[in-house]
Structure 1
Amino acid sequence: MKRLKHFKNKYVITSIVFVVYILFLDDVDVFTIARQEIKLNKLENERALLLDKFTETKNTLEQLDNTKALERYAREEKLFKRDNEDIFVIVKED
């Protein structure tokens, strides 16, 4: 009976209702915050990957200032060829 005595107090009841509302019923509840944190972590990881790709592409672009380096890149990466030659692509299967 002593336990029920505390629940008759209007301040305790109001506090409990307030806490339940804040944790579960509000627009920004605990579950929404957790989902947003997960989404933020995924976006930060994706941002890091994109920054790595960007720096790699920037370095490649800086190296392509030389004409011979540009031709080498075009031949190796994009499989460009001269008019009088054939290209054989060898694919290594595991």
Structure 2
Amino acid sequence: MLKYFKNIFVLVFVGFAIWMLFVDSNSLLIHRELNSDIDDLESEKEYYTKQIIKDNKAIKELSTEDGIEKLAREKYYMKKDNEDIYIIEYEDSLNIKKNE
């Protein structure tokens, strides 16, 4: 085994391999880190693509009169002049802090 390390070509190859794997600016460790960053960015891209689709559906829904009226009634509790609104809140939907 020791005779292989006396060969200059083996020493140069081992030195080159160590340099490329660990020391160089394009090392294996940096590539692994960059690949994990790419995976994170791709998952973030998928999330934002889904959000864009969801927002486009909401914009399409709000472009009609019925959609605007539905939003105004549900979110802002608006009503017509001849209507009464009763808001029913369930106990589990209220944000009440319990004293312990």
**TM-score under structure 2 normalisation?**
0.75
1:79 corresponds in structure 2 to 76
Q: 1:93 maps to what in 2? A: 92
How do 1:1-94 and structure 2 match up within 5 A? 3-76=1-74, 78-82=75-79, 88=87, 90=89, 93=92
Counting aligned pairs with the same residue, the percent is: 21
Unaligned runs of 5+ in 1: none
Q: Which amino acid aligns with 1:93?
A: D
Question: Quick one: distance in 1 between partners of 2:42 and 2:50?
Answer: 12
Please provide the CA RMSD for this pair.
2.4
* 8 Å contact from structure 2 (residues 73, 79) kept in 1: no
Which segments of structure 1 move beyond 2 Å, counting only runs of 4 or more? Answer: 78-94
Task: Report the alpha carbon displacement of residue 42 of structure 1 after superposing the two structures with TM.
Answer: 1.0
Distance in 2 between residues matched to 1:91 and 1:28, nearest whole Å? 59
* Residue 75 (structure 1) shift: 2.9
